[in-house]
Amino acid sequence: MKIRTLLGSAAILAVTAASALAEGETVGFAQIGSESGWRAAETTLTKQQAEERGIDLRFSDAQQKQENQIAAIRSFIAQGVDAILLAPVVATGWDSVLEEAQEAEIPVVLLDRQVDSSDELYLTAVGSNLVHEGEVAGEWLVNAVGDEECRIVELQGTTGSTPAIDRKTGFENAIEGHDNMEIVRSQTGDFTRAQGKEVMESFLQAENGGKDICALYAHNDDMAVGAIQAIKEAGLAPGEDILVVSIDAVPDIFKAMADGEANATVELTPNMAGPAFDVLEAYWADGTAPEKFIQTESRLFTQDDDPTGEYEARKGLGY
């Protein structure tokens, strides 16, 4: 009895000590580099989140090289940081450095991408569910067209890449069972604006000048932006004659939505650090072990969600 009270008060003491310490904790962030606009926005938001929470963030840019990331993690361990955020550039080859972090009792949180190592070597992984993103986009279109016939064209991401496969699967899941909806053409646009435009031109050409197309589903916003130009040049009104739904929520798609040229986008949030810091604060406070995968929200944005405001809010994030 006496022991239990003692333990209890010790725990309370530990909790108060920890919450006092949450201010001024040091976190090392081993970022991949600046491979894309989305990545730059993730870096900006991570720094913002750390500042808001009073966390001292040590940032390392690995310039897309795993050896640089491993070196950064080793130096974070040597500095004795309180936690490490890692956005792994590749999936394999992390075992030994993660073990070193574990021996030093430093929790590691993976951001955005996964690793092949055993999940005991890291605290948790924060990321988005790509299949779910496709489903959200598909569900929006299902609701938007109702019972009408809808011939859909699809702009896929880079052939064979995980986002392309998963976003395609998710969308197909969502429209399954709706016999009025059919994907009539599907081609890769390589995630780029130029390819998105070129492939959309051929879709329009092949589908009676675009009159037979009811909707476009693009695996990312950039391809949708390119395709919107192709639709306009073919003399049709994107957003009205052809519905446009895509994924990522980059600033330029909000501009298109504000002009009524795109209809909906699903956000791949660059704020992976927010949930990661939430988990870490709970862990520092009382050692709560989180689940091994924390799925970020795949929020749907439509023309009703103040696209102009969203554009203004996002354009400074470095997209």
Partner 1 sequence: MLLKRIAPQLIALAALILLVTLVYPDFLDISFRDGRLVGPVIDVLKRGAPVALLAVGMTLVIATRGIDLSVGTVMAICGAVAAWAIASGWGLAPALLLALAAGAAAGLWNGLLVAVVGIQPFVATLILMTMGRGIAQLITEGRILTFNHPGFAFFGSGTVLGLPVPAWLWLLTGVGVALLMRRSALGMLIEATGINRRASALAGVNATVLLIAVYMASGLCAALAGIVVTADIRGADANNAGLWLELDAILAVVIGGNSLLGGRFSILAALLGALIIQTIDTGILLAGFPSEYNLVIKAALVLVILVLQSPRIAAEWRIWRESQRASREALAERSRT
48 membership: H or E segment, kind and range: helix 37-52
> SS3 of 88, please?
coil
Q: How far is CA 91 from CA 83, 96, 111, in A?
A: 20, 13, 12
CB of 50 to partner 1, least distance (A): 21
CB of 313 to partner 1, least distance (A): 16
221 membership: H or E segment, kind and range: helix 221-233
**Rounded CA gap, 182 and 200, in Å?**
17
Nearer residue to partner 1 within complex by CB, 106 or 215: 215
CB of 209 to partner 1, least distance (A): 8
**Rounded CA gap, 198 and 227, in Å?**
8
CB of 115 to partner 1, least distance (A): 25
Nearer residue to partner 1 within complex by CB, 53 or 167: 167
Query: For residue 300, which amino acid is it?
Result: L
Interaction site with partner 1 (CB under 8 A): 34, 36-37, 40, 156, 159-160, 185-188, 190, 192-195, 197-199, 201-203, 205-206, 209, 222, 225-226, 229, 233, 235, 252, 318-319
Do 276 and 111 contact (CB within 8 A), yes or no? yes
Nearer residue to partner 1 within complex by CB, 124 or 246: 246
> CB under 8 Å to 201, separation ≥6 — which residues?
230, 233, 234
CB of 166 to partner 1, least distance (A): 16
DSSP letter at 119 equals G
